[in-house]
Every structure is written in structure tokens, then in C-alpha cells.
């Protein structure tokens, strides 16, 4: 009722606060996969396997060969703001891990049924724990909430079931299982391009063959070939550039000026983070527009490294956006590097075609 009087202010309950926060971080199955892959990479995993059921809504399982979680931490690992990666706010200036806020597992436990089975190198056995709303929970009424010992290898299994079971609207806005699976596929492929030393496997529950699999100690180029085919791979130019004054490193693989795709591919990592950066994308599109016909697009994978002290990673709940110092200069350098690479290649081509 609009009666012109101010409404009473109340404090939201913790349950409501946590659910709101969870919804900001976990938008869809692919965002949960992103968080879980980042955790596996932070745990130094050499092998990460992802198994998906019904587009990740029914079940999502991530298994990795990283360091695992200590048994004594299992009771707090899914509470909000519990992390092994950050101690002081100032540490963010040097942060080299993906995680730092301790919110991902908490968020997932607020919007799904989560279980973790983990065995560290020093433990005699694995332990399995079930979570609900940040807390340990019992797998069945009447059973203890304490983690149960399990015979298992030095691995961690995180199983996320019934995603958004308690968020009706969110569940309804998801796309079909196939489309959600494709989004997961893209996330896994993108990480495999930037982390070719790690073996990634993606498959559907109940299927023996993987839809996507990379060997450990692969290369970005060979993983791109596995995803996009040899036709694309054969057209890629390597970029490698160091700009010391900006503490900026650029490596990448980009399509040459005589090649185009109907749908563009733009994969950007900054300090190992998969990011959206419309300004850089626009700058690159701009370079290609001088070479490509209208409605034709390029393939572009770029991995930028900057001094972590110049990058603010704490600007977005999903961390898919960062702010960095000297942004305009950096974007210019990335653009010029790309332009120069395309030109160098086309002039050498001209040269060869004249021979």
C-alpha cells in the first residue's frame, strides 16, 4: 500500500542473506562448474574430471587429483567466508589463487545437495561429508552428521545434486539440459586452453566415452585443435609479447587476416582468470574489421599476465570481471600487438605468394 509513510527496516535473517548471496555467485550449472574447476586448479590438481547429468541440474560431479581437504576442515569448509587462501585483506595484492572469499562451496551448499569425499596424502582413508546450507548434514535421518570414513584414493569428489531445488524461479529460467551442458562444455574447453598442463575430462553420467578429454601436458594449440578442429588450428598465429614498462605479458593464438568464422570466438584470461572484458574484445574486433568482410569473425585466445598488485580481482561476485591499472594503455598495447601480428603475417604471405 502506498500511503506515504516510511516502512520499518528489519535485519534479514542469515538464511535469506546466504540464499541471496548464493544466487549472485551460482547463476547456472556452468557457474558452479567454473567455481569447482578453479578450486581444483588452486589445489594443484593435474587431472580434473567433470561428470554431468541433465545439464548439471540433476547432478554435477567434479573429481580432481589435487591436495584435498583436511578432515578437520570438513566441518567449516562450506560455511561462508571460510578459505585457505586469504588471511589479510592486503593479501589480495599478491593473490595467485582463483579463490579468496570462501563463498563458492557455501553458495553451492545453499542451493543444492552437496557432498564431498576427500583423502589427503597423510590420511589413512577418505572421508565423506554431506552439506546443507553451509553445515554438515546427515545423509539420512537418524545418521550422524560427522564425516564418514571411506575407502578411497587420494582424490576429491564433489557432488552437487538437485541444483536450485529451493529456488524455483532460478530453475525455471534455466535453458534446456542440452544448452546448459553446452555452456559447461565451453567453460571446460576454455580452461583447458589456458591450462594445457592439466588433463580435463567432461562427460555425461552413465556414458563411458568422454565428450571432451585432454591429456596432461598438452599445449594450448593442440587443445584448440581438439575443440575447433584442424581447419581453425591451421590458421592460428602465435602472439608473444612483453611490455616491461606496463609489467604486461601477452601470449595468445589468433586467426590470421585471411580467415574468418561465422561465429567469433574470444577467450580471454588475465592472470589465469577467465574473464569478460568488452573493452578488449572491442579493440580486437576493431583490428580485424580492417581485414574481414562484414559479419565475419575472428578466433582469438589471449592470455595476459600483469603484476597482481595492479589488478583488482574483487569487483564482481562471479569474479568474471576485474579492474586493472593503466587499462587504456594496456588495451592499446594489446590492440597494437594484434594489429602488428596480423600485418606481419599478411606481408610475409604476400612475399611467399610472389615467389
Residues 212-251 that bind ligand ADP (CB under 6 A): none
- 99 near Mg ion, rule: CB under 5 A: yes
Residue 118, C-alpha cell as written in the block: 576427500
For ligand ADP, which residue of 19, 27, 47, 83 counts as binding (CB under 6 A)?
83
For ligand ADP, which residue of 50, 52, 104, 239 counts as binding (CB under 6 A)?
104
# residues near ligand ADP by CB under 6 A: 23
Beta strands 47-53 and 199-204: pairing type? parallel
C-alpha distances (whole Å) from 293 to each of 229, 285, 300, 339 are: 22, 12, 17, 16
188 or 250: whose CB is closer to Mg ion?
A: 188
Instruction: Classify 107 as helix, strand or coil.
Output: helix
- Taking CB under 5 A as the binding criterion, the range among 9-17, 97-105, 264-272, 275-283 that sits at the site for Mg ion is 97-105
For ligand ADP, which residue of 33, 59, 100, 269 counts as binding (CB under 6 A)?
100
How far apart CA 334 and CA 327 sit, in angstroms, is: 10
- 39 near ligand ADP, rule: CB under 6 A: yes
- 104 near Mg ion, rule: CB under 5 A: yes
- 317 near Mg ion, rule: CB under 5 A: no
Helix (H) or strand (E) segment spanning residue 168: helix 168-173
Residue 174, C-alpha cell as written in the block: 534455466
- Taking CB under 5 A as the binding criterion, the range among 92-100, 125-133, 173-181, 214-222 that sits at the site for Mg ion is 92-100
* Residue 186: CB atoms within 10 Å: 15
For Mg ion, which residue of 33, 34, 37, 39 counts as binding (CB under 5 A)?
39
Query: What is the rounded end-to-end Cα distance, in angstroms, of the chain?
Result: 82
How far apart CA 236 and CA 227 sit, in angstroms, is: 14
- 48 near ligand ADP, rule: CB under 6 A: no
Contacts to ligand ADP by CB under 6 A: 35, 39-40, 42-43, 64, 66-69, 77, 83-85, 99-106, 156
Amino acid at each position: 500500500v502506498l500511503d506515504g509513510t516510511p516502512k520499518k527496516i528489519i535485519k534479514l535473517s542469515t538464511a535469506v542473506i546466504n540464499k541471496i548471496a548464493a544466487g549472485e555467485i551460482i547463476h547456472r550449472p556452468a557457474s558452479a562448474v567454473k567455481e569447482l574447476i578453479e578450486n581444483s586448479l588452486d589445489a594443484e590438481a593435474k587431472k580434473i574430471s567433470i561428470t554431468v547429468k541433465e545439464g548439471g541440474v540433476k547432478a554435477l560431479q567434479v573429481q580432481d587429483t589435487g591436495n584435498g581437504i583436511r578432515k578437520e576442515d570438513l566441518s567449516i569448509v562450506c560455511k561462508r567466508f571460510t578459505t585457505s587462501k586469504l588471511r589479510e585483506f592486503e593479501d589480495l595484492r599478491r593473490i595467485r589463487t582463483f579463490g579468496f572469499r570462501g563463498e563458492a562451496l557455501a553458495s553451492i551448499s545453499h542451493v543444492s545437495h552437496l557432498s564431498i569425499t576427500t583423502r589427503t596424502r597423510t590420511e589413512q582413508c577418505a572421508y565423506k561429508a554431506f552439506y546443507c546450507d553451509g553445515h554438515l548434514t546427515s545423509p539420512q535421518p537418524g545418521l550422524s552428521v560427522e564425516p564418514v570414513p571411506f575407502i578411497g584414493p587420494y582424490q576429491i569428489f564433489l557432488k552437487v545434486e538437485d541444483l536450485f531445488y529451493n529456488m524455483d524461479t532460478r530453475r525455471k529460467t534455466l535453458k534446456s539440459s542440452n544448452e546448459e551442458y553446452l555452456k559447461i562444455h565451453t567453460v571446460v574447453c576454455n580452461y583447458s586452453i589456458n591450462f594445457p598442463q592439466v588433463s580435463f575430462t567432461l562427460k555425461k553420467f552413465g556414458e563411458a566415452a568422454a565428450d571432451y578429454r585432454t591429456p596432461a601436458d598438452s599445449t594450448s594449440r593442440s587443445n584448440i585443435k581438439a575443440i575447433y578442429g584442424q581447419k581453425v588450428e591451421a590458421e592460428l598465429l602465435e602472439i608473444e609479447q612483453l611490455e616491461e614498462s606496463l609489467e604486461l605479458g601477452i601470449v595468445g593464438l589468433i586467426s590470421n587476416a585471411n580467415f574468418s568464422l561465422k561465429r567469433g570466438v574470444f577467450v580471454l584470461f588475465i592472470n589465469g582468470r577467465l574473464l569478460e572484458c568488452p573493452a578488449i574484445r572491442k579493440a580486437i574486433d576493431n583490428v580485424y574489421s580492417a581485414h574481414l568482410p562484414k559479419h565475419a569473425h575472428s578466433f582469438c585466445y589471449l592470455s595476459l599476465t600483469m603484476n597482481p598488485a595492479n589488478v583488482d580481482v574483487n569487483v564482481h561476485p562471479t569474479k568474471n570481471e576485474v579492474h586493472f591499472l593503466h587499462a587504456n594503455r594496456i588495451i592499446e598495447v594489446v590492440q597494437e600487438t594484434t594489429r602488428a601480428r596480423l600485418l606481419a603475417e599478411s606481408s610475409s604471405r604476400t612475399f611467399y605468394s610472389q615467389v
